[in-house]
Structures are given as structure tokens and as C-alpha cells.
């Protein structure tokens, strides 16, 4: 269904065929499998790459993202850790110091708070403090942000927290193409990368072209993608909310409003140029994120637009659509109202456009 929708959004009019045979030049791959394949290929390509984290090996991954990897690569390269985030994150960083290329999984990014000192003080800052002597080629990855019914301690978005810190690269893929290309890029990058996945996207299938399935397919970190061209307003988003923006755009298109949807792909370094170019074209901006509003990703984007050339092109103030400024509640009705919904995006667009 998701691929059907994505076809509709993109405005293509040819007949959709669900291709399952090997002569196909498109592949249906969900985000989980895209991540799995990316790791598999990078483990194969470079012996220094290894994966560690809770349940990543024999359990196949808490969310099955590392399914099959332990069976293929064994104990040396796929390592189950005890429940000791600070310890194993530190070990992963130390291994990176000494020349390996670890992938350190946090079962969810909420648990990274146990280890955040190692991510920031040991990983992010070391290249600078050592004046370029000590590199830290590590990827920290795991699901980020809200899930479904997991309540306050398991639902926080850390894009703003990690995006705040120089020395880190922070990546937030939306679809399978993003997941695959960005994870490969992250693993090949010689710098510490915070890789923010989304649990609710794991099972969502997307189409990948043959080119995207190539083992050297990488997406450059630091470059946003315009997922949908538009003329009236720019919607900037990351991760799961990109899908909501595209859905909102489809609805708004029926009312004659053409939204340009920008998928950030990378939180840090932020691709301000792409956002500015879009805003200078459309004259209006709404940012959409799952995280809390105060000091968030949207806040940064709005500040940058204010400070740059795009400000003079704004026909209205830029606004943010965000998660509600509360810890995540459990009851479904409350949870549904804690996160940005498609109707919130549509409402905001109309407000900005004074419709």
C-alpha cells in the first residue's frame, strides 16, 4: 500500500505492477531489510566493521534489524553485549580509536542517555581535541522517536540533542533508499555518526531501483532531498514525518496548493542551501518533526532562514509543526494527540498561506 501511495504522490500515471520476478529492475524492500542488507554488505566489504549491542547476535536483533548476521559472520563480528550501555558504548569508541569500525547499536535511542558521555565527550570531540591526530570512525544506530504505546521513557526523539554537537554527524533516514544509502555512507565515514532510525518505519516497504541495490550505493551525508516539487510552500521534515508531509501534500494538491517536500536526510550538517533554495522559490515554510518544539530541529531551521538570504523571500513567518510539549502518554487517544498528524500539517499550511 505504501508503494502505491508513493507512486500516486509522485504523479506518475503509468500502470503499477507489483513486480516479483527476478527480471524486475525494481525491488520491494522494507526499511528493516534495507538496513540489514546495508550492514551485511559493509561487513563483507571491510573486515574492520563489526556490530555490537544488546540482542544483536543470537536474538537477531530486538527489532530483527540484524537478522541473519550472526549466523553469517559469527561471534567475532556480531557481539551480544550485557545491558551496560555506558560500558559497551565506551568499548565501541575505544575500538574505533584503535582502528576498527564499530557499529554500536542502542536498542532504542532512549537508552543512549546512559552512554551519552561516551558519544559526546569520547567520540564527538576527540578529533578536535587531538588536533586531527585521533579519528573515531564509529556509527551509533538504533530506533529513535515515538513508537506505538511504549509511553514516556521509550518515546523521545534525540535529533535535537545530538544535532546540537559539533564533531558528530547526525543522520535521520525516512525510507528504504535513505536507510540503505545513508547507513552505508555512515559506516564508510571516518567520523562518529549518530544514525536515527524509526521503529514504525521498519516494516514499511519501498521501491528500490537496481542502481540503489548496487553494493556501492551511498547517499552523501549532509545533503537533503526534494521528495516532491512544489510552488506554494516548502515543507521540511525528517524521518517518519516526511511520509506525513507527502500525504498532506497529496490532500492539499486537490485544493490547488502545491507543496514542495524536503526530506532533510541529515540533521547535522544541516543542508541549509537546499532549504533556502526551496524557500526562495515558494516563499513559505513549515517545518515538521516528531520531537518536542523547544530548542528543536524546526527551531534551528527557522533561525537559519531568518539569518540568511531566504528571509527576504518569505511571505509569512515560518512555523513549526512538532510533537506536543509533554512526555508521551500511554492511552491511544492521548498518544495520537501527542504527535503531529497529517491534519496538523494541512492546518498549518493553510494558516501560513492565509487560506
Q: Which residues are catalytic?
A: 85, 154
Cell matching residue 319: 512555523
DSSP H helices, the chain, are 2-9, 31-45, 69-73, 85-97, 116-117, 126-129, 159-163, 176-188, 240-253, 272-282, 297-307, 332-336, 342-352
Q: Of the listed pieces 1-9, 22-30, 97-105, 201-209, which binds another protein according to CB under 8 A?
A: 97-105
Give the x-and-dash track for 55-94 against another protein (CB under 8 A): ---------------------x--x-xx-x-xxxxxxxxx
Give the x-and-dash track for 131-170 against another protein (CB under 8 A): xxxxx-x----------------------------xx-x-
139 strand-pairing partners = 103, 193
Q: Is 50 in the site for another protein (CB under 8 A)?
A: yes
Please, what is the minimum distance in Å from the beta carbon of residue 48 to another protein?
8
- Angle at Cα 300 formed by Cα 286 and Cα 321, nearest 5°? 30
What phi and psi values does residue 119 have, to the nearest 5 degrees? Answer: -65, -45
Q: Which 212-271 positions form the footprint of another protein (CB under 8 A)?
A: 269
Please, what is the minimum distance in Å from the beta carbon of residue 49 to another protein?
11
Please, what is the minimum distance in Å from the beta carbon of residue 109 to another protein?
19
d(CA 58, CA 69): 9
Size of the site for another protein (CB under 8 A): 45
Please, what is the minimum distance in Å from the beta carbon of residue 39 to another protein?
17
Residues whose CB falls within 8 Å of the CB of residue 177, separated by 6 or more in sequence, listed in order:
34, 206, 208, 212, 219
Which residues are near another protein by CB under 8 A?
50, 76, 79, 81-82, 84, 86-100, 102, 117-118, 121-122, 126-135, 137, 166-167, 169, 190-191, 269, 307-308
Amino acid at each position: 500500500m505504501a508503494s502505491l501511495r508513493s507512486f500516486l504522490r509522485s504523479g506518475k500515471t503509468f500502470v503499477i505492477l507489483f513486480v516479483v520476478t527476478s527480471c524486475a529492475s525494481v525491488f520491494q524492500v522494507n526499511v528493516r531489510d534495507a538496513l540489514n542488507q546495508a550492514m551485511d554488505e559493509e561487513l563483507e566489504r571491510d573486515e574492520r566493521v563489526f556490530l555490537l549491542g544488546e540482542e544483536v547476535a543470537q536474538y537477531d536483533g530486538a527489532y530483527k534489524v540484524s537478522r541473519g548476521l550472526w549466523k553469517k559472520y559469527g561471534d567475532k563480528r556480531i557481539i551480544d553485549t550485557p545491558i551496560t550501555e555506558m560500558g559497551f558504548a565506551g568499548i565501541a569508541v575505544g575500538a574505533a580509536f584503535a582502528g576498527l569500525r564499530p557499529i554500536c547499536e542502542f536498542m532504542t535511542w532512549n537508552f543512549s542517555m546512559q552512554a551519552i558521555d561516551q558519544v559526546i565527550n569520547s567520540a564527538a570531540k576527540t578529533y578536535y581535541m587531538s588536533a586531527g591526530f585521533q579519528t573515531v570512525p564509529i556509527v551509533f544506530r538504533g530506533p529513535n522517536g515515538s513508537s506505538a504505546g511504549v509511553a514516556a521513557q521509550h518515546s523521545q526523539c534525540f535529533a535535537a540533542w545530538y544535532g546540537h554537537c559539533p564533531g558528530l554527524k547526525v543522520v535521520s533516514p525516512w525510507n528504504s533508499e535513505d536507510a540503505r544509502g545513508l547507513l552505508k555512507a555512515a559506516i564508510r565515514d571516518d567520523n562518529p555518526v549518530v544514525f536515527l532510525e524509526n521503529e514504525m518505519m521498519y516494516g514499511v516497504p519501498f521501491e528500490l531501483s537496481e542502481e540503489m541495490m548496487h553494493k556501492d550505493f551511498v547517499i552523501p551525508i549532509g545533503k537533503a532531498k526534494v521528495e516532491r516539487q512544489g510552488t506554494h510552500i516548502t515543507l521540511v521534515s525528517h524521518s517518519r514525518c516526511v511520509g506525513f508531509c507527502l500525504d498532506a501534500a497529496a490532500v492539499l494538491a486537490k485544493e490547488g496548493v502545491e507543496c514542495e517536500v524536503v526530506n532533510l536526510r541529515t540533521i547535522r550538517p544541516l543542508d541549509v542551501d537546499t532549504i533556502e533554495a526551496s524557500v526562495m522559490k515558494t516563499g513559505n515554510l513549515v517545518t515538521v518533526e516528531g520531537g518536542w518544539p523547544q530548542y528543536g530541529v524546526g527551531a534551528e531551521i527557522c533561525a537559519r532562514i531568518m539569518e540568511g538570504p531566504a528571509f527576504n523571500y518569505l511571505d509569512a513567518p515560518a512555523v513549526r509543526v512538532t510533537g506536543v510539549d509533554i512526555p508521551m502518554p500511554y492511552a491511544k487517544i492521548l498518544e495520537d494527540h501527542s504527535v503531529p498528524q497529517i491534519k496538523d500539517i494541512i492546518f498549518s499550511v493553510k494558516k501560513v498561506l492565509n487560506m
